[in-house]
Amino acid sequence: MNVIFSISDINNTVEEVIEEDEELVIEKDEEQEQEKPKEEEEEEDELESFPVRATVIVEKEGKGSLVVHTVAQDGYLHIDAVRYFKEGQVATHDITVHDIGEQRQDLYMGPVFEELGEDLQTTFSKYLEERGIDTALANFLPDYVDYKEQKEYMNWLKDVNDFVSA
């Protein structure tokens, strides 16, 4: 089983939050809502983590791959989509690098997850939990992405400094 995610989510989230903040300011100006005390706003910001997209790939030899697209945020792992590929239909590398739906229009990508019955959605969630894809991972991913992004940033600064100084 593999869990694949990218630190680029942290950069995309910062841009989205800035856009949302700008929209919120406009809405407040238009509606002249009462402002919350600053303490309440700070508490809300501290509690919310940014979303991290993670792809879970469960492979069984001779059976193929189950690919589950998720979003981890605030200790919850939300399932966006579940895809099944028979053995040899799609290479694991292609699943992680490409949007298979755009690359292979001849493959059925499965139903829209939210349109599945609630019992079936719960069954998929339990399937992941049994494999350790759970609340602990949902809490870990945003923290790790933040740590990894900072580490990569520091390495980048050092490499650029070394280059410029040479």
pLDDT of residue 117: 95
pLDDT of residue 161: 96
pTM for the predicted model, two decimal places = 0.68
- Mind listing the pLDDT tens digit of every residue in the chain (166 residues)? 778 777 765 655 444 444 444 554 445 455 545 555 555 555 555 556 788 888 898 988 889 889 899 999 898 999 999 989 888 777 766 666 556 655 566 677 788 899 999 999 999 999 999 999 999 999 999 888 889 989 999 999 999 999 999 8
pLDDT of residue 36: 52
Secondary structure, 3-state, the chain: CEEEECCHHHHHHHHHHHHHHHHHHHHHHHHCCCCCCHHHHHHHHHHCCCCEEEEEEEEECCCEEEEEEEEEECCEEEEEEEEEECCCCCCHHHHHHCCHHHHCCCCCCCCCHHHCCHHHHHHHHHHHHHCCCCHHHHHHHHHHHHHHHHHHHHHHHHHHHHHHHC
Domains present along the chain, CATH in parentheses: 2-32+49-154 (3.10.280.10)
From residue 70, alpha-carbon distances to 10, 32, 81, 87, 108 in Å are: 16, 37, 7, 22, 19
